[in-house]
A and B are shown apart, each in its own frame.
Chain A
Amino acid sequence: MTVPKLSIGLAPGHHTVELTRLAVELGCERVYLWDSPGVYEDVFVWLDRLAALTDARLGTAVLVPNLRHVMTCASAIATLEHRAPGRFAYGFGSGATARTVLGKRALSLASTRRYFAQLRGLLRGDVVEIDGEQCQMIHWPGLAPERPIEVPLLWSAFGPKSLAIAREVADGVMCVTDEPLGFDWNVRMVNGTVLERGDSLATARVRDAVGPWLVLPYHVAAQFDPDALDRMPRGPEWRVASEALRPPDEVHLVVHEGHATHVNARDAMLLDVVGDLPFRSAFWIDDADTIRARAEHAAANGVTEVLYAPIGPNAADELRRFAAVLAP
């Protein structure tokens, strides 16, 4: 049975060069970089470095509207396309995590959609209304690629309303579900690890590979529904430890330390309990046969690409294991 293509997602940074080279060697489809300037380096600069240093197809997962003026985003996309045409795809989201790090809630779907449509128009070369004024890429010939600049734009969707928008405006969808969505390009984000005999969530390697993702529900709850923490395993204890470090309006700054890359000192106390939570099923933390079966199931439901996030000190090994299981 078929499985989706395998791509990887990484936080922009110096570790990405070797991992991207490995991904190319293993036949991965694409390397996506996250965008969250409060915790990572600049996504566009790192995409350019990876384009120069590797042969990988590259992308973003995901850019967030309010971090750059839409013209700045269009100009950056043009810059990359000029140097390495056809190698990039750009995912966009409403900024759940990239904005929570800045103390903000996600953007509305309406404003995200507006940005997306403006960007598409600018890249086509159209005159587009931005903040009430008419704007256009008026780059002189040679100072940017000729318009239209055709790059795939993907939409990260978590709910039915967002999915409906994705169908209307995007070239593909990024999601965290295996449900049938009916897209030609359906990228399913996954964190997890291939368990060997005797491995469990108590194994240090496994914790390194999945810990930073498993604790994320606590981060989100801390910021927007702190009382929910009292109903989560070790939630009260974790909350006290986090809240003790900063005044109330700065707690989000310790909560998100190590976001999706490292387990911070408070999060370490959660690793014994997060494996039992209901959202555990969102992770592919299973033996090789089970992961293969999950991938086949996902493919049967229309997932065309699995975006795997290898992390931890052994990220390269994690990627090798995952790639072996998901070999076509």
Chain B
Amino acid sequence: MRTPKLSIGLPPGPNNVELAHIAQDLGCDRVWLFDSAALYEDIWIWLDRIARETEINLGTAVLVPNLRHVMTTASAIATIEHVAPGRLACGFGTGATARWVLGKKALSWATTRTYIENLRGLLNGDVVEVDGEKAQMIHWPGLAPERPIRTPLLLSAMGPKGIEITKEICDGIITVGAEQIDMDWHVQMFTGTVLDDGESPDSDRVKEAVGPWVVMAYHGGFAFAPDVVDMLPNGTAWRESIEAARPEGERHLAVHEGHVTHLTERDRELVLDAAWGMPMRAGFFIGTADEIRARAEHAAAKGVTELLYTPTGPDVEGELRRMAGVLLG
């Protein structure tokens, strides 16, 4: 049975070019970078560095509307397309985490939709209304690629409303589950790790490898409403630790430290084991080679065309090599 293509997702940062080379050599389709300015380095600079030094396809997973003026995003896309035509795809989201880190809630679908429609118009070369004024890419020939610039645009959508908008205005969708969407380009983000022969799925190595994603339930819960965390295992102790670490108004800054890259001591001590039993972990690809392959086949059967693996933990390269060995070997 067939499996989807395999891509990787990374936070923009100093290991990107080396990992992109490895991903390319392993046969991965694309390197997607995250965008969260308070946690990572600049996504466009790092995409460009990867573009210059590798041949692999590039992506954003995901850009968040409010971090850049839509013309700034259009110009950055043009800058990459000029040197790496056809290699870039841009995923967008409402900025749950990229905005939580800034103390804000996610953007509305209406705002996100407007931004994507404006961006698409700008890349087409159209005149679009931005903040009540007419705007257009009026780059002189040679100072940017000619319009239209046909960069595929995707949306990260978790619910029916987002999925509906994605189908209407985007070239593909990014999801975190394998639900049937029926789009030609369906990227499913996942994390996980391949178990060694005889290795327990609850081993310390496994927990460290996927820990930064497991504890997200607490981070997200806190961002949604701190009280919600009390309903999670050991949540009260974790919440109190956060509240002790920072004054009111600054607690989101403690919550999101190491977001999907590193486990803070607090998270390791207080919630890693507690979170391990939560249903969220069932979504992770933690299993033997055969089990992971079966999950990938299941995803393909549901219409997922691309699995976007987000390796974390102390051995990102090793995780990537093992996962690619299973899904591309």
Whole-angstrom distance between the alpha carbons of A261 and B144 in the complex? 13
What B residues does A134 contact at CB under 8 A?
A: 103, 249-250, 252-253
Determine whether B322 belongs to the interface, using a CB cutoff of 8 Å to chain A: no
Tell me the interface secondary structure of chain B in the complex. loop
What A residues does B130 contact at CB under 8 A?
A: 102-103
- Given A38-B136, A66-B69, A127-B253, decide whether A136 and B143 contact each other with a Cβ distance below 8 A: no
Whole-angstrom distance between the alpha carbons of A66 and B68 in the complex? 8
B38 CB contact (under 8 Å) in A66, A79, A137, A249? A137
What A residues does B143 contact at CB under 8 A?
A: 11, 13, 39-41, 261
B45 CB contact (under 8 Å) in A48, A130, A261? A48
- What 1/0 flags go to B33-74 for Cβ under 8 Å of A? 000011111101110110010000000000000111101101
Interface residues on A, range: 35 or more
* Interface set, chain A 120-147, CB cutoff 8 A to B: 127, 130-140, 142-144
What B residues does A130 contact at CB under 8 A?
A: 102-103
- Nearest CB of chain B from residue A283's CB, rounded to whole Å: 21
- Nearest CB of chain B from residue A263's CB, rounded to whole Å: 10
Interface pair B41/A75, CB less than 8 Å apart = yes
What A residues does B101 contact at CB under 8 A?
A: 135, 138
- Nearest CB of chain A from residue B140's CB, rounded to whole Å: 5
Determine whether A56 belongs to the interface, using a CB cutoff of 8 Å to chain B: no
Interface pair A71/B37, CB less than 8 Å apart = yes
Interface pair B261/A143, CB less than 8 Å apart = yes
Whole-angstrom distance between the alpha carbons of A74 and B38 in the complex? 8
- What 1/0 flags go to A220-252 for Cβ under 8 Å of B? 000000000000000000000000000001101
Determine whether B124 belongs to the interface, using a CB cutoff of 8 Å to chain A: no
- Given A72-B67, A138-B256, decide whether A41 and B82 contact each other with a Cβ distance below 8 A: yes
- Given A11-B143, A103-B134, decide whether A67 and B72 contact each other with a Cβ distance below 8 A: yes
| Cβ-closest chain A residue relative to B135 | A102
What A residues does B160 contact at CB under 8 A?
A: none
* Interface set, chain B 263-316, CB cutoff 8 A to A: none
What B residues does A12 contact at CB under 8 A?
A: 79
* Interface set, chain A 137-178, CB cutoff 8 A to B: 137-140, 142-144
Determine whether B244 belongs to the interface, using a CB cutoff of 8 Å to chain A: no
Interface pair A79/B45, CB less than 8 Å apart = yes
What A residues does B103 contact at CB under 8 A?
A: 130, 132-135
Whole-angstrom distance between the alpha carbons of A63 and B143 in the complex? 18
Determine whether B2 belongs to the interface, using a CB cutoff of 8 Å to chain A: no
- What 1/0 flags go to A252-268 for Cβ under 8 Å of B? 11101110011000000
Whole-angstrom distance between the alpha carbons of A135 and B252 in the complex? 9
| Cβ-closest chain B residue relative to A249 | B134
Determine whether A76 belongs to the interface, using a CB cutoff of 8 Å to chain B: yes
- Nearest CB of chain B from residue A165's CB, rounded to whole Å: 23
Interface pair B14/A139, CB less than 8 Å apart = no
- Nearest CB of chain A from residue B103's CB, rounded to whole Å: 3
- What 1/0 flags go to B82-106 for Cβ under 8 Å of A? 1000000000000000000111100
Interface pair A143/B40, CB less than 8 Å apart = yes
Instruction: A72-B67, A127-B250, A142-B14 are known; give 20 further A-B pairs, CB within 8 A.
Output: A38-B75, A40-B144, A41-B75, A41-B139, A45-B80, A66-B69, A69-B37, A69-B68, A72-B37, A72-B68, A80-B45, A101-B138, A104-B131, A130-B102, A134-B252, A136-B250, A138-B38, A138-B101, A139-B40, A249-B133
